[in-house]
Structure 1
Amino acid sequence: MVTTNIEIGQIYRDTYFDGLNEGRQEYRTIKITAIEGEKAHAITLTDCLGNPSTRRTRVSFKTLRNGYVLVSPRVAD
């Protein structure tokens, strides 16, 4: 569960388990790039199989609080 303020540059890891990759699940990681209202814009750093990615996404603050954990408080651009 997210316990800090959501800020640009933070990296989060999801906590969902999709049962992919014969149970050897890698968790998706995202880096917050912008904040707009109650949503964060992010770049996906790794997909759910651990592969590098540059996909852009939007995540609501509610989803960040309930389905992600903070991995890094802030990473320089």
Structure 2
Amino acid sequence: MSKRKMTGKTKLIWVLLLIGFLAMEFPGVLFFHKMADPFLLGLPFIYGYILCWWAYMCIVLFYAYKTGWGHPEGEGGDK
């Protein structure tokens, strides 16, 4: 087992995932849980907020999947 350095693409994916997870788990959003006025995408704020971040995370994970994130370069595989 050899030590591999993280590429710029791998670091970018990690940063984007960290931003998404922190935003989804941000406790400050709970200040809006009993308010009916703020709406986001026609939904109450809390649901719209989580839905937007969920879509963001799906896009980031799809990008990571398409770029082969997590698979070592040049070590076996079909490529």
Higher helix proportion, which one?
2
* Superposition TM-score, scaled by structure 1 size: 0.20
- TM-score normalized with structure 2 length: 0.19
Whose strand fraction is larger, Structure 1's or Structure 2's? Answer: 1
**Structure having the higher Rg:** 2
- Greater relative contact order (CA < 8 Å, ≥ 6 in sequence): 1
